[in-house]
Amino acid sequence: MESVPSLDTALAEAARYDRKLLVEEAIDAREIEVSVLGNDEPIASVPGEILPSAEFYDYAAKYLDAESELLIPAPIPPEMAERIRELAVKAYLAIDCAGMARVDFLLDRQTNEVYLNEVNTLPGFTPVSLYPKLWEANGISYPELIARLVALAGDQQVLVPAAGRPAGRGGRPPPPSRRAGGTTWPAPSAGRGTSPRPCRPRTPRSCRGRWGAGPDAGRRRRRA
């Protein structure tokens, strides 16, 4: 909004859909984006810059209007690019992301102040999307990027550990040990009984039966 009357009109329109409204100060800024890839040790791509053909980078400006531009790498000083890449990784780790995300920044045109705008955990992934294009600029092709993401997803098969089991960064359990026929956690500490039964990957809830949270738990309680 560029004037108080237009702000009043916008607030009245927004209030038709929600009782809580958020008003933010406008920033005359460049939009700088970074692709991040990885789990516990993520890496960041070179930054890219979006030059939308309209005031807002909406669906039409992104996918339908050929006038919008993507500048890869972003035309910013090397020290600024490195700082933004470091901030992208810090933001990624702060919210415990895994696999991939695109981290978007606003770079103030007047002061060069950097603002974190968004961590997009499901960025566009078409061959013309910025996320894969940024990795192409780093020497990672589209097929190789997909292969890396599949491998990272395999590393993220997380099962619920036994009580007291140490967890990884951000509360994430440590990687499970593997054996034929499924995946299992290491044997629990003394006093917890026998080793947990194996469970198939991608079905972590089936591991909980021994501790009373599986599909048989309700029947056991009713018989008791």
Q: What is the pLDDT of residues 32-73, one digit of tens each?
A: 999 999 999 999 999 999 888 767 776 777 767 777 788 999
Both tokens of 54, joined, read 């309209």
What pLDDT does residue 16 have?
A: 94
Alpha carbon distance 47, 73 (integer Å): 6
Where in the chain are the domains?
A: 27-154, 175-223
User: pLDDT band for position 114 (50/70/90)?
Assistant: very high
Yes or no: say if 7 and 24 are a contact pair by the CB < 8 Å rule: no
**What is the SS3 assignment for 69?**
strand
**What is the SS3 assignment for 74?**
coil
Homologous superfamily assigned to 27-154? ATP-grasp fold, B domain (3.30.470.20)
What's phi and psi for 88, nearest 5 deg? -60, -45
* Of 125, 97, 79, the residue nearest 37 (C-alpha): 97
Alpha carbon distance 170, 25 (integer Å): 32
pLDDT exceeds cutoff 90 at 186: no
Question: What rounded mean pLDDT belongs to the chain?
Answer: 76
Yes or no: say if 103 and 123 are a contact pair by the CB < 8 Å rule: no
Q: Where are the beta strands (DSSP E) in the chain?
A: 29-38, 43-44, 48-51, 69-71, 99-108, 114-120, 177-179, 182-184
Alpha carbon distance 106, 113 (integer Å): 8
User: pLDDT band for position 157 (50/70/90)?
Assistant: low
> Mean of the pLDDT values across residues 129-145?
94
Alpha carbon distance 65, 53 (integer Å): 7
User: pLDDT band for position 140 (50/70/90)?
Assistant: very high
pLDDT exceeds cutoff 80 at 189: no
- Pick the more confident residue, 114 or 154: 114
> Mean of the pLDDT values across residues 133-159?
88
Q: How many CB atoms lie within 10 A of CB 161?
A: 19
> Mean of the pLDDT values across residues 79-93?
97
Alpha carbon distance 136, 126 (integer Å): 13
> Mean of the pLDDT values across residues 92-101?
96
* Of 172, 38, 169, the residue nearest 100 (C-alpha): 38
What pLDDT does residue 154 have?
A: 87
What pLDDT does residue 41 have?
A: 94
User: pLDDT band for position 29 (50/70/90)?
Assistant: very high
User: pLDDT band for position 158 (50/70/90)?
Assistant: low
User: pLDDT band for position 4 (50/70/90)?
Assistant: confident
CA distances from 110 to 80, 107, 114, 197 (A): 15, 9, 11, 61
